[in-house]
Copies of this chain bind each other. A is one copy, B any other.
Amino acid sequence: MNIRLYNARILTMEENKDIFMGEIWVKDERIIYAGNGKDTEGVYEKQGIPCMLWDKEIDCGGNLLMPGFKNAHTHSGMTLLRSYADDLPLNEWLNNQIFPVEAKMNGEDIYELTKLAVLEYLTSGITSVFDMYLTPETIARAFDEMGMRAVQVGAVNHFSQSPEMIEELYLKLNSGSPLQSFMLGFHAEYTCSRELLMKISDLAHKYKAPVFTHLAETKSEVEGCMERYNMTPMAFLNSIGMFDYGGGGYHCVHMTKDDIAIMKEKGLFAVSNPGSNTKLASGIAPITDFLKAGVPVALGTDGPASNNCLDMFREMFLVTGLAKLREEDAGAVDALEVLKMATVNGAHAMGLKDADILAEGKLADIIMIDLNQPNMQPINNIAKNLVYSGSKQNVKMTMINGKILYQNGVFLIEQKIADIYKKANEIIDKYR
Chain A residues at the B interface, C-beta cutoff of 8 Å: 79-84, 86-90, 93, 116-117, 119-120, 123, 275, 277-281, 283-284, 304, 307-311, 314, 317, 320-322, 324-325, 327-335, 372-375, 377-382, 384-385, 388-393, 409, 417-418, 420-421, 424-425, 427-428
Contacts and interface: CB of A to CB of B under 8 A. Distances in A.
A328 B281 contact: yes
Protomer copies: 2
A325 B282 CA distance: 7
A378 B279 contact: no
A377 B425 contact: yes
20 contacts: A80-B378, A83-B385, A83-B388, A86-B335, A87-B320, A87-B334, A88-B330, A89-B329, A120-B375, A123-B374, A278-B321, A278-B324, A280-B330, A281-B327, A283-B325, A308-B384, A374-B420, A377-B421, A378-B421, A380-B428
A288 to B, nearest CB: 12
A20 B93 CA distance: 27
Contacts of A116: 374, 377-378
Rank and list the top 8 A-B pairs by shortest CB-CB distance, nearest first: A309-B389, A119-B374, A83-B384, A278-B321, A120-B374, A308-B388, A281-B324, A378-B424
Majority-rule SS of A interface residues? helix
Given A327-B281, A385-B308, A389-B82, A425 B378 contact: yes
Most buried by B among A123, A283, A304, A391: A391
Contacts of A393: 123, 391-393
